Amino acid sequence: MNSTKTLHDSVQLGELKLQNRFVVAPLTRQRADKDSFIPNDVMKEYYTQRASFGLIITECSQVSKLSDVFYWSGGIYSKEQALGWKKVVDSVHEKGGLIMLQIWHCGRSANISQLGGKQPIAPSPIAINYKSRATGEDYPVPHELTIEEIKEVVQQFKQGAIYAKEAGFDGIELHGANGYLVDQFLRDGSNKRTDIYGGSPENRSRFCLEVIDALAEVFGYGRTALRISPTGRFNDMYDSDPVGLLSYLLPELDKRNLAFVEFKRHGALENRAVVYPDRKTPQEQMPDFFRIIRKLYKGNIIANDNLSIEEAQELVQEEVAQACSFGYKSINNPDLPLRVKNGWKLNENLDRDTLFTQGPKGYTDYPFHNQE
């Protein structure tokens, strides 16, 4: 279906009214305090610079010390972290922007050395089949969560949402993508459980839905969202039937009337994935990714994965997606919506060496159009 909708139009996503359909994708940039994981002033400047986007989704923020694997990332499991985030949120709001926290647990994608000697957790005792990029170590076999421990993790997510609400965030997005804990439960390559949390798509979706419901108890469903990557291979992930999984999960999400679901298409991250010759490629599993999603999900869709402006506009015009999130383009173009609207040239220079370093270099020093 073609329409006259453009990326520059406002849009209602649940209880959130976006001034345009450009969204800052959640991006780990590692600028918080290393030891306390408290957001700081350089993070406040970075997010505030991007207030012209219809919505900002923050970097993934961990819900416990068992998820502290991205050094210098902002956490959300203490009052001090919430106060640090509040300074960020208040500054974005002063510029008229909307900002949503992405909440996260790494699950098995951690090394024991990163967790102070503790074993990482997962739905099943299956290790990632390559070395950690952070430490160079082999990933350990994770601890298989008991049902009681699963309930405890759900409550950790809820407590994180409470802190996020206290910080003033406009909503909360659950990170269910890229091979982290929620994704590990969803997909049958990493979830071999035989209890109520494993086996069928219904059981594998249970943990994700329980966390969504817990977050919504704090924010309401209209301010709660989910990000998933059903065909992604990052962190040694695989599902034998992603469409079958989504055919159960997405109608369940439709019942909840979430603000949106952000779908990450297979793409750049898979360049570092393990290749298994006996497995179908992501493109073979879901060849027309977003349009397959559109048929399965009635709710609001945010499309993501290195989209060109032209493809993003096409997805919005055809009403395949209600909005599109941008990663790299939002890094080196803090004023991306204004550049596109006014026909100004996009900044194509991206310093990849500073994506995960500390301080302002490669973070807050990308120019606005009027500074070039």
- In this prediction, residue 371 carries a pLDDT of 81
pTM: 0.97
Taking residues 192-217, what's their average pLDDT? 99
Higher pLDDT among residues 135 and 342, named by residue: 342
How far, in Å, CA of 211 to CA of 82, rounded?
A: 20
Instruction: List, for residues 70-124, the tens digit of each pLDDT value.
Output: 888 999 999 999 999 999 999 999 999 999 999 999 999 998 888 989 999 999 9
- Active site (catalytic) residues: 180
Which residue in 184, 153, 168, 190 sits closest to 84, CA to CA?
Answer: 168
Are residues 290 and 265 in contact, defined by beta-carbon separation less than 8 angstroms? yes
Predicted confidence band at 269 (pLDDT cuts at 50, 70, 90)? low
Give the Å distances, CA to CA, from 63 to 5, 81, 123, 138: 37, 11, 17, 24
Instruction: List, for residues 156-193, the tens digit of each pLDDT value.
Output: 999 999 999 999 999 999 999 999 999 999 999 999 99
How far, in Å, CA of 124 to CA of 80, rounded?
A: 33
Q: Has domain 11-371 been given CATH number 3.20.20.70?
A: yes
143-144 and 16-18 as β-strands: parallel, antiparallel, unpaired? unpaired
